[in-house]
Structure 1
Amino acid sequence: MTTPSSRAGTKGVPRADRERQILAAATEEFGRRGYEATTVAAVAGRVGVTKPLLHQYFGSKQDLYLACLDPVGDRLLDAIRSAMAEHATGAPPTPLRVLHALFDALDGQREAWFVLYDPSLPPDSDAASRAAYYRDAIDELAATGTAELLHTAGSGDPLDADALTYAWRGLCTALIRWWINHPDQTPEAMTRRCARLAAAGHAILTADDDHT
């Protein structure tokens, strides 16, 4: 006898496949439109299921958001940790490794970054709390990386570290937003572009030093 959890979804699609379709559509909707503007009806319409079926699978809108958030947050954290742990001879600098890891983890679902960084989440909700957990974890990793960079540069000012962590978060967000608008750009192409931009930025910032 077939159990309810293993029955096919609507139109003969197995439930597990239908759930993956719903999560993919919901992740894109939350990432593009934000939590507040995303509706369960819009997600259901994209997948071709009814609202009652979607609620049956995932519960409330917040439950659906959390089901999207956790895989994205875990994937990004794993990617950043792996990139920071790499110490092979000749490997790119840590910031470039981390950026490449982010681009690689988000490829095919680029809007997912904004599921974490969504200002429209209801304050004091489980959704806001869970998203903050992932953002804080990413910030802690960024703080570790920026502290190493500042130590190498001879800076011991804790405000420098705080400012650089803040700037790094904004840089990642800006680059991913640009990437969304340029779908032809692969993770590898984006990493090479970031390397060129970093070199150009360094040249601009040290230009005066060359003439002293």
Structure 2
Amino acid sequence: MGKAGTKGVSRADRERQIIDVAVEEFGTHGYAGVSVAAVARRAGISKPLVYSYFDTKDGLYLACVHRVGALLVDAVAAARSRSGSTDHALDTLHAIFATVERHRHAWSVLYDPALPPDGELRDAVRRFRGRLAAMGAAGAARLLTGAGHDDPLDHQLLNEVWQYAVTAVMRWWSDHPDQSAAEMTARCARLLTALGND
């Protein structure tokens, strides 16, 4: 067990509390719009205490990226039970929706367009995004291969369509936060069924 933080809270618990608040702050206001002081205020602790845990604002954001990136990657990896079928796309979307519903700002933190273009933060984000993209590409490839299509350009195009579609769906959900994960899954199921029947 880590050493105690303020008011008898263990270091590990305090770190989790700070990251939870920071994910919400960064997810709502973006990297550029958040200060360590704002996170400390929301968490009910001092700014020096935040720095003692994370050293810098970048260190705090990096901790947030590792938290939400791991959650999203694990969720998508667990959704592979119907990989290679058209249901796999819906399973993947449902896994993302369920994760983001529990951790509302996870996607926004990992896909923040205002991050610095280079450095450790950008590298960490790229790694998690790359893992998600690779799983999407593998799913698209299995779907096409299973249907007897092995043209590499078809595979490349379907992967691009999938990546942009997921981004568009998540942006739409961000603009419609009243929609639950279950409602989003049902909505996407209707759309995929309609597209498949066209």
Instruction: Tell whether the 8 Å contact from 2:86 to 2:143 is kept in structure 1 after alignment.
Output: no
Pair 1:124 & 2:121 matched: no
Q: Of the candidates 150, 159, 164, which is equivalent to residue 165 of structure 1?
A: 159
Tell me how many residue pairs correspond in the alignment: 196
Match of 1:62 in 2: 58
Q: Of the candidates 81, 106, 111, which is equivalent to residue 105 of structure 2?
A: 111
Structure 2: stretches of 5+ with no match in the other structure:
none
Write the distance in 1 (CA, Å) between the matches of 2:145 and 2:181.
29
Q: Aligned pair in 2 of structure 1 residues 45, 166: CA closer, same or farther (>3 Å)?
A: farther
Compute the displacement of 1:195 (Å): 0.4
Match of 1:198 in 2: 192
2:117 match: secondary structure: coil
Write the distance in 2 (CA, Å) between the matches of 1:117 and 1:142.
16
Percent identity for Structure 1 against Structure 2: 44
Write the distance in 2 (CA, Å) between the matches of 1:42 and 1:93.
43
1:93 match: secondary structure: helix
Match of 1:185 in 2: 179
Counterpart residue identity of residue 182, structure 1: H
Pair 1:22 & 2:25 matched: no
Per-residue Cα deviation, 1:11-52 (whole angstroms, up to 9, x for no partner):
x36144332221111112222322222221221122222211
Give TM-score, length-normalised by structure 2: 0.86
Write the distance in 1 (CA, Å) between the matches of 2:162 and 2:135.
11
Residue pairs, 1:26-175, within 5 angstroms: 26-84=22-80, 86-87=81-82, 93-175=87-169
Structure 1: stretches of 5+ with no match in the other structure:
207-212
Q: Aligned pair in 2 of structure 1 residues 75, 53: CA closer, same or farther (>3 Å)?
A: same
Give TM-score, length-normalised by structure 1: 0.81
